[in-house]
Amino acid sequence: MMGVVTFTIDDVCRAATFAMRRHAVAESEGRRAKLNRQERRCVLDDHFVGLMGEWAVCRELGVEFAPTINTYKGAPDACGFEVRTRRATYATLVLHDNDSPDYPYALVMQSTLFQYLVCGWIPYAEAWEICEMITADPDRPQMRTVPSHKLRPLTKATV
């Protein structure tokens, strides 16, 4: 069962401000996305969607959201979880070779600008063990994915 988290216009504007700051700090430190400029999405949008996913996890768990800037790889994203936020068309958790094995992973899907679906969570070791290799783009390496139906429900009892 997915948790539906709805945000207000003020919430979205607050998140946009933090996303811009995350983006600016990453750029100033030379951390640039591994995208070519021909790709559809904007890196700033990725910061925004990721931040909203982190906030959705906090809301689902009833924990105050404290957005972070520049903690990349140094701490979990939110409430002890690495949070992966995807657009609603991709209901899979994606794992990368350089992901931290120290934290569980949560999947959130963006439904609309204001609504996010908290799909669930999984311990890293279990995710790595059951992941499926897929080729989403022939010009990119295969991805390790875990379908959302294999995730555990994220509830207040989880933390």
pLDDT digits (tens, 9 = 90+) for 43-55: 778 889 999 999 9
Q: Bridge-partner residues for 92, per DSSP?
A: 147
Query: Each residue of 14-33: pLDDT tens digit?
Result: 999 998 888 888 778 877 66
Q: Which two tokens stand for residue 63?
A: 């924990």
Distance separating the N- and C-terminal Cα atoms of the chain: 17
What is the mean pLDDT of the segment spanning 80-99?
Answer: 87
Q: Is pLDDT at 37 greater than 50 in this prediction?
A: no
As a whole number, mean pLDDT of residues 64-90 equals: 82
What are the angstrom distances between the C-alpha of 79 and each of 24, 67, 130, 131? 24, 11, 24, 23
Once rounded to an integer, what is the mean pLDDT over residues 110-116?
95
Query: Mean of the pLDDT values across residues 127-140?
Result: 85
Half-sphere exposure of 112 (CA within 13 A, CB side): 8
pLDDT of residue 1: 60
pLDDT at 117 over 50: yes
| Six token digits for residue 86 | 């995807």
Q: Which amino acid is at 74?
A: G
In whole angstroms, give the CA distance from residue 117 to residue 90.
12
In angstroms, the Cα distances linking 78 to 36, 58, 106, 140, 141 are: 29, 7, 9, 29, 28
Residue 139 has pLDDT above 90, yes or no: no
Q: How far apart are CA 125 and CA 102, in angstroms?
A: 9
